[in-house]
Structure 1
């Protein structure tokens, strides 16, 4: 049996931001450039496509009735029952050149959320910290914000500017999710094939990274040692998420963005979403605290 299977054959131009809701047993993810939120039960069931009307890239659970969505204008509260979106905290809403990108919730309930230029303009993006209604910019001059994730105890944060090839690690205050030191290089990927895209950290401190352009998912030990590489059937895997009742599998999104017609024919599953049946000691995403 193959380690990798198709979870959803729906083709996303830029599939990103997968997040599992254990209460609904559903995976949520995005087609960023087409402004779509996708939803599919992990145990089986029909795909739902929610049209958001703007670029969006990340989702977090507030409670059973509400979700927080990172979009090109900021953080929106989404009513699960009706789909209604209400702007909660603007982020670069007055800058039409940027949009949201990678985001993830710290164990304390704070959200780190990144922005980037819609055309990947150099240094146009930032990474922000949002907690109980307060917003702070943590890092600026970011070209492509990615790999935001945290250790299980909240003492470490990871992130990258994909354009640099350097996956960074920084000490964090477990109570607030704020950095307490200077970022240091965790993995230098510059000489390897592909680019560091989305990541997630399991209970053992292993970081699982989707390698855009590298056709694989890589797993790194807490000291940055490469533990294994899992081959993917697509060139541009974009982001992993733990899924299932025991958070013991990985879902991985992908994209065809940037490919011409000939390249797409050579990469026919590009944009689909996959399940990795490999042993992972995953964990559920914390709920975000908005007030």
Structure 2
């Protein structure tokens, strides 16, 4: 367990009660809609939106288990869902299927973590619906073409990228380690003799008290990573060492995100998946937030997804 400085305790912002809250993102303002935070309740197939202060909470029911909604250059979303990638218009609710995504796998899989890289391409992952060992894979959707870059994962998470786009990070939660992959000028893992180079162990979190889950990189290039089961989000320096953390009153944070004014508020999704008796009073499954502007921390704007 860490003895790193605590930056504060995140407060409950939205009582969303998600079984598996995940995939948070900050959606910029459009002519029709204000800036807002978005997140998914994967197992229920729900897309959530709320204003920066947690007001105006809206839930949209989706047709599939969905883990991420990437903002495209056109201002709509690409939904990363079980069996399918689809485009979703947040103003009208219209959905258009784009391409199958592991639609016929055995054992059955669903989408999990995803994030747009600094090149405007989407990295996305799959895992077994019952977290079967080695059933998951990691993909990159680049200019409309989907390529698998790694397989044999169990619970892929923590997809995020260095500010200069030179490195990709990810974890297989069950290993307790965060991996780092060097990328070429186009954002692909460097290759050798036609094969992707093996990623290196960047951070060992096996003694962190919880499993590494979703993550985001801040403007300083430091990682903020949710520690499932530990009730905190850790800030890791460039060497993968925990140097600070944000506490939560619940045990299962799933993914952090920077948003709000100046991108200085840390939003955190949580879950009550697997809990025999979720503590709804404490906020298991709700959206939490902590303003970090007093510490000088801020996030990076999310790149828009380029599909063509």
TM value normalised by structure 2: 0.90
Q: CA deviation at 1:44?
A: 5.1
Q: Tell me the distance in 2 between the aligned counterparts of 1:138 and 1:144.
A: 15
Any idea what SS the aligned residue of 2:262 has? coil
Any idea what SS the aligned residue of 2:298 has? coil
Describe how 1:148-163 pairs up with structure 2 within 5 A.
148-163=159-174
- In structure 2, the partner of 1:190 is 206
Alpha-carbon contact 1:109-1:288 (below 8 Å) kept = yes
Selected match of 1:8 from 4, 9, 14: 14
- In structure 2, the partner of 1:113 is 124
Alpha-carbon contact 1:256-1:271 (below 8 Å) kept = yes
- In structure 2, the partner of 1:200 is 216
Describe how 1:238-257 pairs up with structure 2 within 5 A.
238-257=254-273
Alpha-carbon contact 2:13-2:53 (below 8 Å) kept = no
Q: Tell me the distance in 2 between the aligned counterparts of 1:190 and 1:227.
A: 16
Any idea what SS the aligned residue of 2:238 has? coil
Q: CA deviation at 1:281?
A: 2.3
RMSD: 1.7
Pair 1:57 & 2:67 matched: yes
Q: Tell me the distance in 2 between the aligned counterparts of 1:152 and 1:80.
A: 28
Please give the per-residue CA displacement for 1:137-178, whole angstroms capped at 9, x wherever unaligned: 01100100100000111111000111111100011124x221
Q: CA deviation at 1:63?
A: 3.3
- In structure 1, the partner of 2:291 is 277
Any idea what SS the aligned residue of 2:174 has? helix
Q: CA deviation at 1:119?
A: 0.7
Pair 1:78 & 2:92 matched: no
Q: Tell me the distance in 1 between the aligned counterparts of 2:73 and 2:150.
A: 29
Please give the per-residue CA displacement for 1:120-153, whole angstroms capped at 9, x wherever unaligned: 0111110001011111101100100100000111
Any idea what SS the aligned residue of 2:263 has? coil
Alpha-carbon contact 2:27-2:37 (below 8 Å) kept = yes
Any idea what SS the aligned residue of 1:63 has? coil
Q: Tell me the distance in 2 between the aligned counterparts of 1:74 and 1:64.
A: 20
Question: How many corresponding residue pairs?
Answer: 288
- In structure 2, the partner of 1:97 is 108
Q: Tell me the distance in 2 between the aligned counterparts of 1:9 and 1:254.
A: 11
Please give the per-residue CA displacement for 1:184-229, whole angstroms capped at 9, x wherever unaligned: 1111112231100000001211000000001100000111121112
Please give the per-residue CA displacement for 1:61-116, whole angstroms capped at 9, x wherever unaligned: 11354111100013211112221221212110123711000000001101100000
Pair 1:268 & 2:282 matched: yes
Selected match of 2:49 from 39, 46, 54: 39
**Shift >3 Å, 4+ stretches:** 265-268
Selected match of 1:222 from 233, 238, 254: 238
- In structure 2, the partner of 1:287 is 304
Q: CA deviation at 1:43?
A: 4.1
Q: CA deviation at 1:245?
A: 2.9
